């Protein structure tokens, strides 16, 4: 059975890119900044980074422990490579969220500066 939290997360996912920033509502921009801040906090969390790196190193160790080239060993290599690719893609998602937040902040700062008269 699919958990309701997963359904809610899927239904409320934010599909945004740099080109959408100018067309977003203030609530959407706030959500982008919130998600970007959360992603940034994960990327800066030392324990999180250590666990990710430990996972990557253990997966690479498992790959190097495979010495033969049987069909099963090749399938195992592919599965381990997919795991490494998955964690790299997860980190890329976090980095994109942070970059989008930074872009929103820059754009909002630029708008504020253009509204305020020169002192």
Q: Among the residues of the chain, which ranges form H helices?
A: 4-11, 26-44, 46-65, 71-115
Question: Is pLDDT at 17 greater than 90 in this prediction?
Answer: no
pTM for the model stands at 0.81
Least confident of 9-13, 90-94, 101-105, 113-117: 9-13
Determine the 3-state secondary structure of 119 from DSSP: coil
For 41-78, write each residue's pLDDT tens digit.
Answer: 999 999 999 999 999 999 999 999 999 999 999 999 99
Q: pLDDT class for 117, splitting at 50, 70, 90?
A: low
Q: pLDDT value at position 90? A: 96
Residues 90 and 88: their CA atoms lie apart, in Å, by 5
Residues 116 and 111: their CA atoms lie apart, in Å, by 9
81's CB contacts (< 8 A; 6+ apart) are 63
Question: Is pLDDT at 15 greater than 80 in this prediction?
Answer: no
Q: How far apart are the first and last CA of the chain?
A: 61
Q: pLDDT class for 1, splitting at 50, 70, 90?
A: low
């Amino acid at each position: 059975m699919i958990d309701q939290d997963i359904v809610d997360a899927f239904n409320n996912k934010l599909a945004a890119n740099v080109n959408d920033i100018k067309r977003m509502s203030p609530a959407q921009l706030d959500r982008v900044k919130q998600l970007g801040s959360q992603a940034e906090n994960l990327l800066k969390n030392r324990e999180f980074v250590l666990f990710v790196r430990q996972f990557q190193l253990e997966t690479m160790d498992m790959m190097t422990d495979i010495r033969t080239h049987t069909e099963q060993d090749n399938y195992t290599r592919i599965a381990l490579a997919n795991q490494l690719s998955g964690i790299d893609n997860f980190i890329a998602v976090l980095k994109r969220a942070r970059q989008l937040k930074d872009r929103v902040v820059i754009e909002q700062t630029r708008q504020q500066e253009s509204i305020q008269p020169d002192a």
